[in-house]
Structure 1
Amino acid sequence: METNPLQEEHNHVISISEINSNHLASMYQKIAEPPRLLSNAAGKPSCSIFRVPQSLLEINGKSYQPHIVSIGPFHRGEPHLRMIEEHKWRYLGSLLSRTEPQGLTLGSLLSRTEPQGLTLQHYLKSIEPMEARARECYSETIHLSSDEFVELMVLDGCFLIELFRKYGRVVQFERDDPLVNMLWIIPFMVRDFLRLENQIPYFILEHLYDLITTSEDRQDSVKSLSFLALNFFNNHMNRPDEVIARLHYLTGKHLLDLLRSSVIPVDHVEPGQTTPSHIIHCVSKLRRAGIKLNPPKEYESFLAIKFKRGVIEMPKITIDDFMSSFLLNCVAYEQCHKSCSKHMTTYATLLDYLVNTYKDVEYLADRDIIENCFGNDEEVAQFINNLGKDVAFDNDRCYLSKMFGEVHKYYGDSWHVYWASFKYTYFDTPWSFISAFAALVLLILTLLQTLYSLLSYYHP
């Protein structure tokens, strides 16, 4: 008797009792739990503070980790950051000594009577309504209680504002303040304030700043929070004071985004549509094709790069500990944040295209495009190659896509390439010119000797 296959399939019944109920419950619990290490908020435009991707950490790990100060929750409580943590409380106390009402006591704080002035309680209460919005700015779940999170925002925010105001001479530093008198501390803090993982939302800073500053301060635009913050970082960027003054209106997602936005020229907008483009070759190959690289006479930012009649006009950039850290964290930020432009990623990719070896760095330094305060030329070349390594980038949708296309077209012109290659080979240095000239003279003499021998043979 033949068995119906469909009947066999229907007779195959799975017994639920065979499945371990505890294991089943555990699986359902995992399904119900939202992701923590990369939360659902990480995909929203509101999320702007991320853990650096592991692929980038493996290449430049130390450049993303704070060295002496923790800002925000990601590195809170780490032992090597404890020294500055103690000074945060000192700076908060210094701030409260100016904003709290005179003669304030614990009894008056607990009473229902509102004292005239800003107390610590005022700062905490003002941040509480912003807690949920601030938590959504982080790419992973923050395991802090509500009180701890609000305390962190107030402590770190007030520390940054107090430091910026003291540095901008709005408020006087204490005479023996070690953060200023020990010269090594400020440069480390400047770099730590720009680590992607070491941020608090900028709207928290703006809110606290509005609470702290008096109405007289706010009437003066150069005393804006953005101006004070950019002025603090400018000691390591050396931009003219008038440039910083023009940027007082800027805002950002956090301090890293603020400084990043300040170096993007206003008229540099990424194309809305795809522009067919190509990669460009390294400096050595471009030179053989007759393409030169020169710094422009005037420029607004190191991102303002142009190509005119066979010359790439590339503004000067100083490669040092500050700029290397800034560039790396900006690229990491642009890789993670879906809504921001990719200007720094484009610039990093351009540098990676141009530099293959230390000789390319040497040429750019000779052309006054790179100022090397980082190490030898080999170390700068390695840094630049790591800067563009494992980075997602779209050549056709970047602010330099048109320039990439123009350089590629010029490079492909055979006449330019042949003539430039000839000049590069024989006239690049005085010795090569002398050798070429000597070879030409020898060739002429050989031809004359041959001609003389022929004439002597036919007309003895």
Structure 2
Amino acid sequence: MRENEWVMNVNQELKNMGDSSSEMEQWKKRSIYRVPSCVTDLNKKAYKPQSVSFGPYHYGESNLESMEENKHRALLHFLKRYKKPFECYVDAVMEIVEDLKHAYTSLEQKWHLDTIGFTKMMILDGCFMLEILRVATSQDGDIDNPDDEVIDDYAPNDPVFSKHGKLYIMPYVKRDMLMLENQLPMLLLNTLVVDSKDGDPNQHDEELVNRMMQRFFFPYTRITKMGRCLHPLDVYRRGLLWENPHHKKKIVAKSYHRLVIEEGDEIVRSATELYEAGIRFKKSKTRSLKGIGFESGVLKLPPILVDDATESLYLNLIAFERLHVGAGNEVTSYIFFMDNIIDNAKDVSLLHSQGIIQNAIGSDKAVAKLFNSLSKDITLDPDSALDVVHKQVHNYCSKPWNEWRANLIHTYFRSPWAILSVLAAVLLFALTIVQTIYTVFPK
């Protein structure tokens, strides 16, 4: 009986099944994912928020409950400042609530059944995030909100939205905002911002929230147009990859004159070995992770700050690229490349000396260990632009002269004692020649 019921259900689903375009639309709605256990088992802490939950995946967890009262206070300040009836925001979010639900994969059934509860969570989390962005960036002059009557309308001893909170709380909130399982759809944030403003909703500034996030995540870099983003992690990723169009054109123009790429397995050596082979390292003019290039024996790499949040950040970016079809693989490729050229502390020290790695976690050995751990279970897309750089570096090192020089340095110049031994041998050989000459041609 149960078997027949299953057959009938499958046949009915088959009749209701649409074409590939309908399936494509369904997958396009998804942008926020639960990270699978095969990934999180390597580092569970990197994917779990430590101070605040955003969205349904970690809602109600005991270690995050203390932040809930701060969310409610942020909502009241938000409503008081913009002087719009609360019902306006509820109605606006209710109109898009199904789209918000579809943004989350593996959403628990309770949220599908409790639309009011889901809407309440979205509004509280969304207003809290917007208040974090507004307060954290107001010190630079809130040029995006010139109509705000009061900028700092929180108490000076507020635990989150005060000067004290900016220093001790917001860095942890920022870290949690960049975890894949802790994302809010940009559709929600844009909707709340639009409803807070006066005027025609169709004439609102679509880049407003993007700019606020850029000032929050990258306070000392240029603000650029991002277009339609999926969530804060997507905004951050685009900021990491943004390139100046003029600089990008120069790189493309030069690429036509680079080395011919050969077939075969290319293994990129460590930074120290590359240096011994005659390759020099130089800091790129751009901070974009795509700003890696190789030309005339010079490998250019963008600068990167390595601190306590680096591991969690890049693991979540890699997970996003892995799970979201069409996201790209630039961050994954960058980490894969850096792992190839960083084997130990000497490689980190070499890159640090060129201003490429800024070490804020202590020892060079710790930085090397971090990059090695980030690259576990990831692969480089053969169509990646960095695969071209891989092959160019490999070809350069494989040239007879460069290979001979690398072997010579590796064999005879690895330590000061080896260098002294070689110099002594050369001097002894020279003295032997001089003695021979005097013996053959006496005065």
TM-score above 0.5, yes or no: yes
Q: How does 1:149-228 map to 2 (within 5 A)?
A: 149-169=118-138, 170=142, 171-174=151-154, 175-179=156-160, 180=162, 181-182=164-165, 183-214=167-198, 224-228=208-212
Deviation by residue 1:427-453 (Cα, 9 ceiling, x = unmatched): 677765544322210122234456667
Distance verdict in 2 for CA 1:42–1:344, change over 3 Å: farther
AA matched with 1:131: V
Q: Is it true that 1:259 corresponds to 2:226 in the alignment?
A: no
User: Displacement of 1:168 after TM fit?
Assistant: 2.6
Matches within 5 A, 1:304-319: 304-319=291-306
Percent identical residues: 29
Aligned residue number for residue 67 of structure 1:
50
Give the counterpart letter for 2:159 in structure 1. P
Q: Does 1:343 align with 2:330?
A: yes
Structure 2: which amino acid aligns with 1:234? F
User: 1:139 and 2:105 equivalent?
Assistant: yes
- Deviation of 1:213 after TM superposition, in Å, equals 3.2
Matched, 1:408 2:394: yes
The code of the aligned residue for 1:412 comes to S
State the TM-score, normalized to the length of structure 1.
0.78
Residues 196-247 of structure 1, C-alpha deviation per residue, up to 9 Å, x if partnerless? Answer: 0000111111111111234599999798211111111225xxx33xx12xx1
Q: How is 1:206-355 mapped onto 2 (pairs within 5 angstroms)?
A: 206-214=190-198, 224-235=208-219, 239-240=220-221, 243-244=222-223, 247-266=224-243, 278-296=266-284, 298-355=285-342
Q: Secondary structure at the match of 1:51?
A: coil
Q: Tell me the SS of whatever aligns to 1:312.
A: strand
TM superposition shift of 1:323:
3.0
CA distance in 2, matches of 1:32, 1:198: 37
User: Compared with structure 1, are the counterparts of its residues 434 and 131 closer, same or farther at alpha carbon in structure 2 (3 Å cutoff)?
Assistant: same
- The residue type equivalent to 2:270 in the other structure is C
- 3-state secondary structure, aligned to 1:290: coil
Tell me if the contact between 1:45 and 1:339 (Cα under 8 Å) persists in the aligned partners: no
The letter of the residue matching 1:96 is L
Once the two structures are TM-superposed, the CA of residue 89 in structure 1 deviates from its matched residue by: 0.4
Contact 1:251–1:258 (Cα < 8 Å) also in 2 = no
CA contact (8 A) 2:380 2:387 kept: no
Distance 1:249 1:256 in 2: 13
Residues 279 and 430 of structure 1: is their aligned pair in 2 closer, same or farther, counting only changes over 3 Å?
closer
SS of structure 2 residue aligned to 1:207: helix
Alpha carbons of structure 1 residues 30 and 195: separation in structure 2 relative to 1, 3 Å: farther
Q: Specify whether residues 49 and 42 from structure 1 end up closer, same or farther in structure 2 by C-alpha distance, changes over 3 A only.
A: farther
Q: Give the Cα–Cα distance (whole angstroms) in 1 for the partners of residues 351 and 415 of structure 2.
A: 17
- Give the equivalent residue in structure 1 for 2:256: none
Q: What is the Cα deviation at residue 383 of structure 1? A: 1.1
The 1:281/1:217 distance shift into structure 2, 3 A limit, reads farther
Residues 94, 332 of structure 1: CA spacing in aligned structure 2 closer, same or farther, 3 A cutoff?
A: same
- Show the 5 A alignment for 1:24-173: 24=3, 44-100=27-83, 118-143=84-109, 144=111, 145-169=114-138, 170=142, 171-173=151-153
The answer to whether residue 420 in structure 2 is matched with residue 440 in structure 1 is no
TM-score when scaled to structure 2? 0.81
String of CA shifts for 1:12-48, please: whole Å, max 9, x gaps: xxxxxxxxx56x58977997999xxxxx999813211
